[in-house]
Structure 1
Amino acid sequence: MKYFGEGLSEKHKELSKIIRNKDKISQAKLLFLDIHANLHLSETEGTIQNEVDNLIRDLKENEYAIMPKTKDETIAWVIWHIARIEDLTMNMLVAEKNQLFNEEWKSRMNISITDTGNTLTDDEIMYFSHSINIKEMLCYWNAVGESTKEIINNLQAEDMKRKVLTIDLERILDSGGVTKQKDSIWLLDFWGKKDVAGILLMPPTRHVIMHLNDCCKWKEHIRADKKIYRC
């Protein structure tokens, strides 16, 4: 069932058709930014209120740390996960520069991990979700979104077919963005098979759509006072 992103899948399909067409680079960039604007808070995008606002605006802090069912994560984990992956892939792989995340952000968010959270156990997800500073996490997510917009605006048509560089994948590993654990290291192989267009079509767009859909489903479950797995 779809809980989030009405019409975004269709826009994403259209983007996938034109993103590598050098004659449609301007159209592709505008379409990407349109999709992206619906995957971040409107305060980041400078747009009218959207579905992300509706998800976040009235969430109580404890609701970020609820694991509705046994195979679910938490809303706090999801926002960290999608923000972290967008930061790593857009800044380090697409723009070939440093990620935004650093020791200052780590301190501000009151966290100990630096990776995407793929390997965390349920216990670790719950501890993380109760410990992280939600306000600062949202600030980090906003900053990542702003950075992505700047990167897209600077892309040229020839960039779209540029392959991800091994040296940048190694930088992600060295910086702790991905760990050597099997549930984490596979991301480097996955990203390493893509060109810039392939990155744009997954981590900052389709990947986010899927995860925010889960968050909206979980919020509905929580608000319906249904049985909760962990909180």
Structure 2
Amino acid sequence: MHAKDVLVDAYGRIQEEVHAVVDGLSADDLNARPDDRANSISWLVWHLTRIQDDHVADASGREQVWQSQDWADRFGLGLPRKDTGYGHTPQKVAKVRVDSGDLLVGYYDAVHEQTLSYLQDLDDDELDRVVDKSWSPPVTLGVRLISVLSDDLQHVGQAAFVRGILQSH
């Protein structure tokens, strides 16, 4: 098995979990926050998708789906177009609201499609390419892809936890 095959499988698992956590929820449930300092399912799924979109587009030299496919306007969040949610205050988290899960899943699926397109053509040797020299040690493509994978799985797990809280009441 090649490294790209492992990555394709792993990123596919994120997609499965995103669909599972959003499926069947109302807008109220998607936007609910366990308290005013917590993240909603909408914010968590939007953020994990923005991070994947931003980081994979940067590493692959492609344009972000957020801008190229007009998702920024479809969401209409009133945030800067390049905002990924990193470092959001509770007030900014509250700005990320959706009318349905279709918007979240649609954006995630579009990003997933672009990610898979990139991963399927990836050569194992490419994973050693440095993509970010601002860290010590510099970040390679392999490390960046695993970092995004880890971050996305953590956030979709948090979204599943919030869903469980909402469904327990």
Q: Does 1:194 align with 2:139?
A: yes
Q: Which has the higher contact order (CA 8 A, sep 6+)?
A: 2
Over the residues paired in the alignment, what is the CA RMSD in angstroms?
2.3
Matches within 5 A, 1:27-176: 27-41=2-16, 51-69=17-35, 71-93=37-59, 95-102=60-67, 104-113=70-79, 114=81, 115-129=83-97, 134-164=101-131
**Structure 2: runs of 5 or more not aligned:** none
Determine the C-alpha separation between the residues in 1 that align with 2:25 and 2:100. 14
- Whether the 8 Å contact between 1:106 and 1:112 is mirrored in structure 2 is no
Query: What does residue 216 of structure 1 align with?
Result: 160
User: Residue 208 of structure 1 aligns to which amino acid in structure 2?
Assistant: D
- Whether the 8 Å contact between 2:77 and 2:97 is mirrored in structure 1 is no
Aligned residue pairs total 166
Question: Relative to 1, partners in 2 of residues 1:27 and 1:37: Cα closer, same or farther, differing over 3 Å?
Answer: same
Question: Relative to 1, partners in 2 of residues 1:213 and 1:33: Cα closer, same or farther, differing over 3 Å?
Answer: same
Q: Which moved more, 1:151-160 or 1:189-198?
A: 189-198
- CA displacement, residues 116-161 of structure 1 (integer Å, 9 cap, x when unaligned): 112332233223225x664333211110000010100111122110
- CA displacement, residues 29-88 of structure 1 (integer Å, 9 cap, x when unaligned): 1111111111104xxxxxxxxx44332211111111111145521111111111111111
Question: Relative to 1, partners in 2 of residues 1:217 and 1:137: Cα closer, same or farther, differing over 3 Å?
Answer: closer
- TM-score scaled by structure 2? 0.86
**Structure 1: runs of 5 or more not aligned:** 1-25, 42-50, 167-188, 226-231
Identity %: 19
Larger gyration radius, structure 1 or structure 2:
1
- TM-score scaled by structure 1? 0.65
- CA displacement, residues 145-200 of structure 1 (integer Å, 9 cap, x when unaligned): 0001010011112211000156xxxxxxxxxxxxxxxxxxxxxx569931000011
Q: Alpha-carbon deviation of 1:97?
A: 2.2
